[in-house]
Amino acid sequence: MKQHSSGVRVTYKFAETILKILRKYKAINLSLELIRDSEHLIIPIILPNENVLSILENYQSKFEVSTFNFIQKENTPKNLFEALENEIPTELHDYIPKSYDMIGDIVVVEIHDEMLDYKDTIGKALLSLFPSINTVYRKASAVIGKIRVRKLELLAGEEKCETVHVEHTIKIFTDVCKAYFSPRLGHEHNRVADKVKNKETIVDLFTGVGPFPLHIAKNKDAIIYAVDINKAALSCLEKSIDLNKLKGSIALIYGDCRNVTESLLEADKVIMNLPSEAHEYLDVACQIIKPGGILYFYQFVPDDNPEEKMIQILEKKLKEQKYSIKEIISFQKIRESAPREIHACLEVSILPDST
């Protein structure tokens, strides 16, 4: 059977070198056959195109990433359902996980209570389905506590927590056991970073492992203050700074953002991605933002009229600080966070009432 899929086309001269690198990063889709023409080898890839471009960045002119018509190897499952349907009773098929997070070479999957007897089978299936994956964890709690980390239970593979995740060509070092990171926010990190101009000063009040600062500093000559109360998250960011070629500079600030405002320069923009509590920290944002500066304000909000609801929350809390919204610049729905609830971002400029 034929399958349309991404692949790397390389001349035979460089094929061995490229194959070696792709094998090292477990980037090859082993369920598809290689394609050979008179001049090229075409290698099916399993990682997103942007990750492969980043892995092969030293060989830029030697290969091309595109979509090709590969032949499927016989008897290899194409997805988790196919890998599990013969191992799990039919009445439980609806509970086979439909999504999971791939963070570098680690998969984190949520398993329904009804399926817990099959958790190891699911772990093994995920490991064999994705050659790029070395470890499979199950979510063993919700995201909890101030540092927003969840308990994880090893299901299959190597017991390790550190990995490098590639997001829009940016290498993000993370520790899935000690720091918050969600691969579902990649587009949002990039969207906000795209709006930053050279020479701006940005404060990311709840930076985690620093995806916003890394996205910004990759392409903009800006100064970004990355604040977090979790030392382990900042240690990850320190490692990522070494892994990437950055145009901007990132200053790491460890502590509760409420206690570190004197170490921050006046900000053109303040990012507040702590959606469960950002509204409780608007006093901090007002202390450090320039008049007319821009706020990226994140919340979990009910999915009916979410924009209106966020504006109401923000206006009320800003009023307590004697600030007002000057202009509503954008509203962005990011993802569903719970049934009938979304994670969203309101981008506004704000002014003190006295001006």
Ligand X SMILES: C[S@@+](CC[C@H](N)C(=O)[O-])C[C@H]1O[C@@H](n2cnc3c(N)ncnc32)[C@H](O)[C@@H]1O
Asked if residues 133 and 106 have their Cβ atoms less than 8 Å apart, the reply is yes
Residue nearer to ligand X on the CB measure, 5 or 261:
261
Q: How far is the CB of 206 from ligand X (least distance, A)?
A: 3
Give the count of residues interacting with ligand X (CB under 6 A).
20
Closest CA to 174 of 87, 237, 253: 237
Say how far apart CA 279 and CA 323 lie, in whole Å: 13
**Residue 207 binds to ligand X (criterion: CB under 6 A):** yes
206 interacts with ligand X by CB under 6 A: yes
Using rule CB under 6 A, residue 151 touches ligand X: no
Least CB distance from residue 327 to ligand X, whole Å?
A: 24
Closest approach, Cβ 148 to ligand X, in A, equals 4
Q: Which stretch binds ligand X (CB under 6 A): 193-201, 222-230, 238-246, 300-308?
A: 222-230
From CA 156, how far away is CA 133, in angstroms rounded?
A: 10
Kindly state whether residue 223 participates in binding ligand X, applying the rule CB under 6 A. Answer: no
Query: Among 88, 90, 103, which residue's Cα sits nearest to residue 139?
Result: 103
Shortest gap between Cβ of 186 and ligand X (angstroms)?
Answer: 9
Residue 293's contacts (CB-CB under 8 Å, 6 or more residues apart) are 266, 267, 268, 269, 270, 349, 350
**280 contributes a contact to ligand X by CB under 6 A:** no
> Would you say 28 or 106 has its CB closer to ligand X?
106
Tokens of 248: 């901007």
Q: With binding defined as CB under 6 A, does residue 225 bind ligand X?
A: no
**233 touches ligand X (CB under 6 A):** yes
146 binds ligand X (CB under 6 A): yes
CA distance 151 to 350: 38
Part of the chain binding ligand X (CB under 6 A), chosen from 64-72, 78-86, 128-136, 202-210: 202-210
Region binding ligand X by CB under 6 A among candidate stretches 74-82, 96-104, 159-167, 224-232? 224-232
- Per-position DSSP letters for 118-181, written without gaps between them: GHHHHHHHHHHH-TT--EEEEE-S-SBTTTTB--EEEEEE----EEEEEETTEEEEEETTTS--
The verdict on 240 binding ligand X (CB under 6 A) reads: no
The residues with which 296 forms a beta bridge, in sequence order, are 271, 347
Say if residues 317 and 256 touch (Cβ distance below 8 Å): no
Show the tokens assigned to 113: 């209570």
Residues 163-182 binding ligand X (CB under 6 A) are 180-181
Report if residue 65 touches ligand X, rule: CB under 6 A: no
The site for ligand X (CB under 6 A) is made up of: 146-148, 180-181, 185, 206-208, 211-212, 227-230, 233, 256-257, 273-274
